[in-house]
Amino acid sequence: KKAVVTIDGPSGAGKSTISRRLAARLDYTYLDTGAMYRAVGLHVRRRAVDAEDAEALEACLEELAIELLPAGDDDVLVLLNGEDVSGIVRSAEMGLVASQISAYPQVRRKLTELQRRLAATGGLVAEGRDMGTVVFPDALHKFYLDAAPEERARRRCEQLRQRGENPEPKEILEQIIKRDHDDASRALAPLRPADDAVIVDSSQMPLEAVVEFMLANIKG
């Protein structure tokens, strides 16, 4: 049986880049669970379902199929009922929608089940908010990747600038602090390190050094 490596933490700590590289080095599959929440958000929004209506939400989730397909250059395609929605789901707006629908127990139950099913097929580097605490409590290797809010805000601004936007650094930092608070204080699957997770702070560390640290820890 192949292992599951979990990487949880707030957004902007470098989870995606690190998880992709780690998966490539281990020859494991990279599981981007944020993309799954984003795809569900897109589906719910397109169907114009009122998420507060439990029955409607349940019905809407039943006709939903999400697939993640490896593409070249350790990229991943997100398929929603067969349609490639990779581009759409990565917008900041869909991040917000994902965050809203991720509070509903039906959504979390459905994705938790799907994520566990994917782990049955082989080695996995699972990235998200609740991988080590809820979805894979028995994972052999758990990491919690953190970074100072200021550093995460700096990276986020850089990213937005590369996309031709002109972010206000103070505003970005405030958004990050608010999102941290919301994620940590929500009732379901609050963001926190698993008791047996290794906590890594990437504030002062190049991402490649974090990957090497994790590899050494896994092989240790």
Contacts with ligand C5P, residue ranges (CB under 6 A): 11, 33-34, 37-38, 95, 98-99, 102, 128-130
Q: Smallest distance, Å, CB 80 to ligand C5P? A: 15
Is residue 88 within 8 Å of residue 38, measured between CB atoms?
Answer: no
Nearer to ligand C5P, 28 or 38 (CB): 38
Q: Smallest distance, Å, CB 91 to ligand C5P? A: 11
Q: Smallest distance, Å, CB 192 to ligand C5P? A: 12
Nearer to ligand C5P, 14 or 60 (CB): 14
Is residue 218 within 8 Å of residue 125, measured between CB atoms?
Answer: no
Is residue 141 within 8 Å of residue 26, measured between CB atoms?
Answer: no
Nearer to ligand C5P, 46 or 90 (CB): 90
Nearer to ligand C5P, 28 or 216 (CB): 28
As a whole number of Å, the end-to-end CA separation of the chain is: 19
Sheet strand arrangement including 4-8: 29-32, 124-128, 4-8, 141-146, 198-201
Name the CA dihedral angle for 87, 93, 96, 102, rounded to a multiple of 10 degrees: -40
Q: Smallest distance, Å, CB 106 to ligand C5P? A: 13
Where does the chain have alpha helices with state H? Answer: 15-26, 33-46, 54-62, 86-89, 92-101, 105-119, 149-162, 169-185, 207-219
Q: Smallest distance, Å, CB 75 to ligand C5P? A: 15
Nearer to ligand C5P, 60 or 132 (CB): 132
